[in-house]
Structure 1
Amino acid sequence: MTPPSAIDPRIEALVTDLIGRVADKWTMLILEVLAEKGTLRFSRLAEAIGNISQKMLTQTLRTMQRDGLIERTVYPVVPPKVEYKLTELGFTLGAAFCGVWVWAAENLARVEQARSAFDLGD
């Protein structure tokens, strides 16, 4: 592991920011839905995610677009047509967090055992 004094503060800031963002359930869900379904319109994305407000979906998509995780395409038609898709960067971030799923699958029994022991006061 790199000693803290050798870490570029810009990288540290990015990691801290991304962990905070990806720990946000909406970002993770959007990454998952777009990875599974491909390019989607706003309304289809909202339906696929479920219980998310229009405001929260809009804010999350804008932040993800700013970070380069998604691409937003606006078509000059009436009514307006807007589509969202993952960028290569978005796919790589999603892949990086797949490791959490692998870890959870491999360690589920151990975590459940530790929780049971804790809850029983062992």
Structure 2
Amino acid sequence: MKIIAIWRFLVLALAATLALALAFYWWEQHFFQVISPAVSDFLLKWWWLGVIASLAIISTAGTILILFNPRPHLIYRLLASIASYFFPPVLIAFWLVFVERFRPNNSSKPTPLRGVGKAS
């Protein structure tokens, strides 16, 4: 269960990073000044470094999680981990196909009583 929580956090972090990267790319194409020219230059120079660093961390963590995942055969895990290292959105596809699909059923149905306190 902890691995599923880690996967969810990883996929949410990846989605947020990609959304921020797309928003910043749009801002860079339709440049408008933020506070001052110095602040705008700072954002243009260092934002992409942060995006690339976070994508590298997410890709590495996702590669490790894929290798320790029990579901598909080892060869498929190796191929997915190599692909996800170079193209992080593969992590979302792997999560949907192999992690969320085989998640335990956490339904809220009550379990029947057993033993001495059993209601007739």
Same fold (TM over 0.5): no
Q: Which of the five TM-score ranges fits, normalised by the shorter chain?
A: 0.3 to 0.5
* Greater RCO (CA < 8 Å, at least 6 residues apart): 2
